[in-house]
Amino acid sequence: MYKRVLLKLSGESLQGAQGYGLSPQVLSSYAAQIKEASELGVQIGIVIGGGNIFRGLSGIGKGVDRVKGDQMGMLATVINSLALQSALESIGAKAVVLTSIRMEPIGECYSKARALAAMAAGVVVIIAGGTGNPFFTTDTASALRGVELEAEALLKGTRVDGIYTADPEKDPSATRFDQITFDEVYARQLKVMDLTAFTLCRENNLPIRVFDMDTEGNLLKVVRGEAIGTTVKN
């Protein structure tokens, strides 16, 4: 069983079937799974994307400057983080939002020491605002925080159950990997995370576990070390 993990959730996954914004059903499901894993004694840090609200790159073609677009995306991740914190607290779990840029009283400013102290006390730590810098994705933010907090694995909760040889929605013959190396992912040009995030994990020996977060109970199975999803490691 893992002792400390960094969970990466996509903003798009929070929108559920409605296709935009925040789905109360998805938030409730995710919060229940996270609480269940936390109650096992696993220390959990979380980074959430903001694509369900605003994606910086999508603003470029609409007259939004790239830096301002990315800053808008950072604010979107804060909204998602507060929503997840609220969902966790509503079911009795302890959660705190730390922001990569100063935003008191919305959240305390992130530091490694502050995050580790909260995690050691059994509090779920949600790190909002990406890296705090433009031109970096929340994938890169999750890799950075995972390495920084000395997590045993970066858990990438998605809508698919692992990494496939091809897009399973387009190629019915695609097969899923149980385990694959960073080098093989790169050689096959498989899309797991953006290259900056991927390289950060590879160089710091941080394994990535890709799994289906939308199936309830899967997060608990992953933190227990059960063989679901796909593991990427050196």
pLDDT in tens, 193-209: 999 999 999 999 999 99
pLDDT value of residue 177: 95
Q: What is the pTM of this model?
A: 0.94
pLDDT value of residue 159: 86
pLDDT value of residue 64: 84
Residue 154 has pLDDT above 90, yes or no: yes
Comparison of pLDDT for 162 and 58, the residue scoring more: 162
Residue-averaged pLDDT of the chain: 93
The DSSP bridge pattern shows strands 4-9 and 153-158 to be parallel
Stretch (H or E) spanning 27: helix 24-38
- What tokens appear for 144 in the block? 């950075």
* 4-233: CATH architecture: 3-Layer(aba) Sandwich (3.40)
Question: For residues 6 and 46, is the Cβ–Cβ distance under 8 A?
Answer: yes
Instruction: Summarize the confidence of residues 88-110 as an average pLDDT.
Output: 97
pLDDT value of residue 192: 87
The residues with which 97 forms a beta bridge, in sequence order, are 126
pLDDT in tens, 219-234: 999 999 998 999 999 9
- The 8 Å CB, 24+ separation contacts for 55-64 are 55/11, 56/134
Question: For residues 210 and 158, is the Cβ–Cβ distance under 8 A?
Answer: yes
Comparison of pLDDT for 168 and 52, the residue scoring more: 52
pLDDT in tens, 21-60: 999 999 999 999 999 999 999 999 999 999 999 876 665 6
pLDDT value of residue 143: 98
Report domain extents, the chain.
4-233
pLDDT in tens, 57-85: 665 667 788 899 999 999 999 999 999 99
